[in-house]
A and B are shown apart, each in its own frame.
Chain A
Amino acid sequence: MSIDLKTIKHISKLSRISVDEKKAEKLAGDLNSIFDFIEKLNELKTDNVEPLTSVAETTLKLRSDEVKSKNLRDQVIKNSPKENEDYFVVPKVIE
């Protein structure tokens, strides 16, 4: 298989990571060699195999409906890159 530059551009868009031509070419090279290696899986027949998501052989535990987290606004906002006491701030979004 071969991952072309168009595909690299597409996945970089989905990943929200900008790539220029040079970086795209490098990534295409790397990804192609990695996927060559990954293609090995095609040797295996897995039609009747159940996929395994988690090895934890237990079910989801349920917590009770209690409010424990109080107002943490200061803590939550403290680390944000744009100064504002009440909100997170991002460049204007136009729908």
Chain B
Amino acid sequence: MSKNKSEYLINRHDNQYEVVIGLEVHAQVTSESKLFSTSATKFGAEPNTQVSLVDAAFPGMLPVINEYCVKQAIKTGIGLKAKINKRSVFDRKNYFYADLPQGYQISQFKDPIVGEGKVILDMPDGQKEVGIERLHLEQDAGKSIHDLDPKNTFVDLNRSGVALMEIVSKPDLRSPDEVNAYIKKLRSIMRYLGTCDGNMQEGSLRADVNVSVRKKGAKEFGTRCEIKNVNSIKFMQMAIEYEANRQVDLIEDGQTIDQETRLFDTKKNETRSMRSKEDAHDYRYFPDPDLLPLEISDDFIENLKSEIPELPDEKKKRFIEKFKLSTYEANILVSDIETSNYFENVIKKSDVKLATNWIIGELFAALNEKNLEITESPISAGNLSKLINLIKDGTISGKIAKTVFEQMMEGDKDPKKIVEEKGLKQESDPKALEALIDKVIDDNRDKATEYKSGKVKLFGFFVGQVMKVSGGKANPQLVNEILKKKL
């Protein structure tokens, strides 16, 4: 494998292969109740306690659609700069599985609620646009549990009927790194919008990964394989790497690739063909006769547009233009809605440059060390802002600020109080400093003489002594000035 610039290619003998990736992301819609039923969607409930008669497909039960889920899908579509379809249709996707109580999944096939859109990725060598093919609403299935009993599989239907947005990308991705950036960007957009919490551990974001390979420069796509239901970015990357190499090996071996559905085995780090694929390709889609076409008005869409917050791309642009941040800084600060909110709260009342440095530097490092999210930060935006102001107005030095910051990390304390209680206030009274400096010079007569005779390097020694004697509180700038005069 070679990496020319940031191009991801697979080398075999004299051939170079390009990897073509498309993703079908399943994002759980943030909502209180399910897409077609009124049961709860909370994560982690006791098995089968959030299952209505509709979810368990009892005879005569009928679906009734949740307006909020429709709004969430449209908002997401707006966030993806996509076309919103004023008329969409729900179809049944028919197949049998233990965790699919109806024997079909209600999904959207021919007429999805959202059409083509795009996502911009910031890659190390510039921006990359990834096309969105469509976004549609569908029901999640239940969960099969295979390891509770040697002979039986247990089924929990709590997830059954939860609203998902399936976001289908065009086959525009070319490397595991791009997939990483794409998922993160999608997640970021949806979290800004509040349409999906993006929690991958809880399964709120999963993807089917379509992988094919072709010789570099080829126009035609190769035969693709779909790796089902991968639930972490790391696994997606590993699966792609494995799968792409498997396909290249087959081609190099003169074999053909079967278009098929595969599973990623996280223990063995390999993909393998799914056993139950037999008739997986005949879903017999047809419009669900229990549901009429979904028609939405321009007003409905316009109202939702007015609720859309500033999204990461726009926010980044504003940060760079208004606050003169570097692209690097802006990217970091907008990547997550919580971080950008924190940043904007800090700079409401304090210096932008200092705030940027303190957040990206000290704060991130400290949070990282404690394994905390920004929302769990022991230091509130308000108190960080106060700390920055204490530095800015000379009350404390940058060095002292770090001490104060460390104390703040132990619990959200007002930095002013810490400074007062511990007496950390910077000494900026010239008279007091003069007295201090006089004493230091007095105690180091010989060194002072050396300095005067030309050993200017000793200036640093005097500064250090003064700081030491002052317990680090002396205003360094004033110390410099006064020392120069006195020496």
Contacts and interface: CB of A to CB of B under 8 A. Distances in A.
Interface of A: 13-14, 16, 53-54, 56, 58-69, 71-73, 75-77, 82, 84, 86-95
B65 A93 contact: no
Given A73-B51, A90-B98, A93-B146, A66 B38 contact: yes
Interface of B is mostly: loop
A16 B31 CA distance: 35
A93 B153 contact: yes
Interface in B1-60: 31-33, 37-40, 46-54, 56, 58
Contacts, number: 129
B295 interface: yes
B218 interface: no
A92 B33 contact: no
Nearest 10 pairs between A and B by C-beta? A62-B67, A65-B68, A69-B52, A68-B38, A87-B154, A88-B155, A69-B39, A59-B295, A71-B49, A93-B153
B70 interface: yes
Contacts of A94: 146, 275
A59 B294 contact: yes
Interface of A is mostly: loop
B189 to A, nearest CB: 21
A33 to B, nearest CB: 23
Contacts of B201: none
A71 B158 CA distance: 10
Contact of B294 (A60, A64, A69, A73): A60
A69 to B, nearest CB: 4
B284 interface: yes
Interface stretch (B285-293, B435-443, B464-472): B285-293
B50 A71 contact: yes
A60 B153 contact: no
Contact of A53 (B37, B38, B154, B287): B287
B270 interface: no
Given A86-B46, A90-B155, A95-B274, A65 B66 contact: yes
A59 B293 contact: yes
Contacts of B275: 94-95
15 contacts: A13-B279, A53-B287, A56-B292, A60-B294, A61-B64, A62-B70, A65-B67, A67-B38, A67-B39, A67-B40, A69-B53, A73-B47, A84-B154, A91-B151, A95-B146
Contacts of A76: 48, 51, 53, 56, 58, 157
Contacts of A75: 53
B32 A87 contact: no
A54 B89 CA distance: 12
A4 B157 CA distance: 39
Contact of A72 (B33, B53, B65): B53
Nearest to A58: B292
B478 interface: no
B51 A72 contact: yes
B39 A14 contact: no
A92 B65 contact: no
Nearest to B31: A65
Contacts of B38: 63, 66-69
Given A87-B155, A89-B155, A92-B151, A68 B274 contact: no
